Amino acid sequence: MTTKKKLIAGNWKMNGGIAANDALVRAVVAGLKDAACTVAVCVPAPYLAQVQMLRHGTPLELGAQDVSSHEQGAFTGEVSAAMLKDFGVRYAIVGHSERRRYHGETDQLVADKAKAALAHGITPIVCVGETLAEREAGHTEEVVKRQLAAVVHANGHCISEIVVAYEPVWAIGTGRTATPEQAQQVHAVLRAQLKAATEHAGRMPILYGGSMNAANAASLLAQPDIDGGLIGGASLKAADFLQIIAAAR
């Protein structure tokens, strides 16, 4: 079992509001005093400044939900890694299944976004995962290895600086969750792939991102290659999020 510090990252998705954010972040920060893991919240871009101020002087890290592959220029609506860095962003989610599905993001674009984040000292949380059809067809390993391979190929020696998140698409927002054994099996495949790419694979966090919640967090986090969680809906409820954080030891 790895001894690295676990990472629990909340993904608010397209949720939040000034008053709700204030209450949520204050409640989370108040409960972090005994946290044994690293904790981050990945918030919608308009709220980065607000949450940066709320987290100032606390252990809570700030994350973004996306980043442009471009440095700057005529890319209306895009947010660059340099801009995120200005707001103290430490993590940026790239390649979330919703971005791949609804915005047509390719493996190469995800790899380019990871590269852009790394160039500005932001840790990309690279999401990989299979659909239900792909799992039922026996293609899980093939799919996740292909998605991760693009990022490894594009980022070379910098690959040891990324975080990987396995998010089975069939278990996101559906109430379904991979069993701890199913999740561990895929995490072990990803760990082996990383080991082939870098001698630092053992210290690289691989998060589980398929509907981890207060009820199942402990059993998932007990698996040898599950180093934390990318938390969706449960990260919007301070009590649930703090329960998951407490399980990450």
Our answer to whether residue 56 is catalytic in this structure is: no
3-state class (DSSP) for residue 181: helix
Our answer to whether residue 96 is catalytic in this structure is: yes
Question: Catalytic pick from 105, 130, 167, 187?
Answer: 167
Question: Catalytic pick from 61, 96, 130, 187?
Answer: 96
Active site residues: 96, 167
